[in-house]
Structure 1
């Protein structure tokens, strides 16, 4: 993880408000249980009005668990894939994922809080993961079409393109979850491509070791 890069004043104010809402929502969920948190309490804790809350969040659940994520428009996503054609396939998908989220910046307190929430209140795990499910489905469809468009792009020519797309997106998604779970501190941090490459190298080593006989 890297420290977040400098932002303009307007972006900083927007980010500060988002962070205040999400930090408050997650803190309250940890303190009193996610089902007992109200929008009014979140607004009071974040020192914002109810209208401001709904300008930033579609629902109470989004503030606690994370906002729904959708892939950016198909042609924009394809343009990123084309621009990243000389990079690894995982890098290209990673870039589309971050562009879809709208930023690579993550608030450490919020990320750590949601990880803690999923462990202390296991029933929240599915809700915390749900924002990523729709995005993963969209990314899989995009990658499937990308591989079908030119078979030379495929790394697993002996399996169906859909299977390769699912496996690739799963690697990116699981990698992001690991990176988010490892975030610590209180400052905004940036998910860097280098961190993802290092993580995937570790996953490759682990997969290789798991195939070796023990004893």
Structure 2
């Protein structure tokens, strides 16, 4: 990509970030239900038309999802060392996003807002479904698993679930860093959550 192309991409990233920051600030001040697209665009000093070039609706801007995270995650899966375990690859993917959010100073504020709003949490989960499918497909390909294989799907899905659980726990234990909670969660996944698991299938389900 040439210098002009690189400048355009940086400008787009800056505009997206400005809109996401404005949406978060207004949602925290007024509540997510009382923020309008017009207010977000004005706060970011862009037109409403420009807003819709980046986000489908105001909730997208409040969530502040960065498509670059998925691009980097898929690239990380394609270029992971051959001897790196799939769950380890997911650890790197998750921590890459975490570093970005912590660097921008938005992790706690946006996370708490989303976790306190059932509608935002629901929209985040819905918007993550396609990302998860792409990650599962990429991880399955790297692992040499056929389409529809259970293992890559479980690895990606449980990593996502661990992130959601960690953010919820961080609300009640803010003194524990998110990265620390996340590492503990991944360690539990790696070790097996319940090593005494062993249902008696002959008893059936009462």
**Please, what TM-score do these two structures have when normalized by structure 1?**
0.59
What displacement does 1:172 show? 2.3
Q: Say which structure, 1 or 2, has more relative contact order (CA 8 Å, 6+ apart).
A: 1
Match of residue 123 from structure 2: 127
Larger relative helix fraction: 2
Tell me the distance in 2 between the aligned counterparts of 1:27 and 1:131.
21
Matched, 1:162 2:158: no
Distance 1:119 1:174, change over 3 A: closer
Match of residue 174 from structure 1: 161
Match of residue 36 from structure 1: 34
Tell me the distance in 1 between the aligned counterparts of 2:163 and 2:61.
20
What displacement does 1:115 show? 2.3
8 Å CA contact retained: 1:118, 1:124 = yes
Q: Note the alpha carbon deviations across 1:35-75, whole angstroms, 9 max, x for none.
A: 33211100222233334433433432210123485955xxx
Structure 2 gaps of 5+ residues are 1-5, 172-177, 198-206
Matched, 1:140 2:136: yes
Structure 1 gaps of 5+ residues are 1-7, 151-160, 184-190
**Alignment match of 1:87 (pick from 81, 84, 87):** 84
8 Å CA contact retained: 1:81, 1:93 = no
Instruction: Please give the root-mean-square deviation of Cα atoms over the aligned residues, in Å.
Output: 4.5
Secondary structure of 1:106's aligned partner: helix
8 Å CA contact retained: 1:90, 1:168 = yes
